[in-house]
Amino acid sequence: MNKKSVAVLISGSGSNLQALIDACAAPEFPAKIVHVISNKKDARGLVRAKEAKISTKVISHTDYPQRESFDAEVSKVISAAKADIVCLAGFMRLLTPGFVKEWQGKMINIHPSLLPSFKGMHTHEEALKAGVKIHGCSVHFVVPEMDSGPIIIQAAVPVLPGDTPEMLGERVLKAEHQIYPHALKLLASGTLRMEEGRAVNTYQAVHEYTLFNPDVRF
């Protein structure tokens, strides 16, 4: 099988990276992770990558005076790894429009809210503050405006009485681990593309949203 090569960008724990690593282990999965880049040298995700025998690189943003020069280095490393697809998995840096345009249609991100609600940080606190009864996560194509690209797939979880941001975040994270590999599968297999500002999935049998149920497997 001609698998697509993927670079994953992380900053922290890397549990979404782990979900992608686990999915890629299946022989029929249409993608393989060829490189993991972190802007933080102590990111736990780097250990996960090493355990999976995936090459890693730390590119510390503090070594670069401008966002442009940091992004240029990241792009150079992704290209050198011959990646076809870029997955942002808890990567906590804003990317410059130039970088985003270079990878547009080939770069996806997981965000812990049902977009377009609760863009940015602290999404679980914001969801509790707003009093929503349903919260969740979204995988979207990356465009220059933060958390605004075409939505590929979403999963919804209930907000339960007595939830703290941590409890809600944990519930959402489990859903993230389900939908991110699924979105990558769609993109890598060629059934999904970004077209005129929309995520177009030509494989109609696949649901583009789900009510999170840990027993459901795509």
Q: Are 78 and 35 a contacting pair, CB within 8 Å?
A: yes
Of 112, 136, 149, 181, the one binding ligand GRF by CB under 6 A: 112
Q: Tell me the catalytic residues.
A: 111
Residues 90-109 touching ligand GRF, rule: CB under 6 A, are: 90
Residues 10-49 touching ligand GRF, rule: CB under 6 A, are: 12-16, 45
Nearer to ligand GRF, 117 or 191 (CB): 117
Least separation in angstroms between residue 169's CB and ligand GRF is: 7
SS3 state at 100:
helix
Least separation in angstroms between residue 45's CB and ligand GRF is: 6
DSSP string, 102-159: HHTTTEEEEESSSTTSS-SS-HHHHHHHHT-SEEEEEEEE--SSTT-SPEEEEEEEEP
173 binds ligand GRF (CB under 6 A): yes
178 binds ligand GRF (CB under 6 A): no
111 binds ligand GRF (CB under 6 A): yes
Least separation in angstroms between residue 16's CB and ligand GRF is: 3
Q: Report the DSSP beta bridge partners of residue 12.
A: none
Nearer to ligand GRF, 94 or 200 (CB): 94
Helices (H), the chain: 15-24, 44-51, 67-80, 97-103, 123-130, 165-188
Q: Are 57 and 37 a contacting pair, CB within 8 Å?
A: yes
Contact positions vs ligand GRF (CB under 6 A): 12-16, 45, 89-90, 110-112, 173, 176
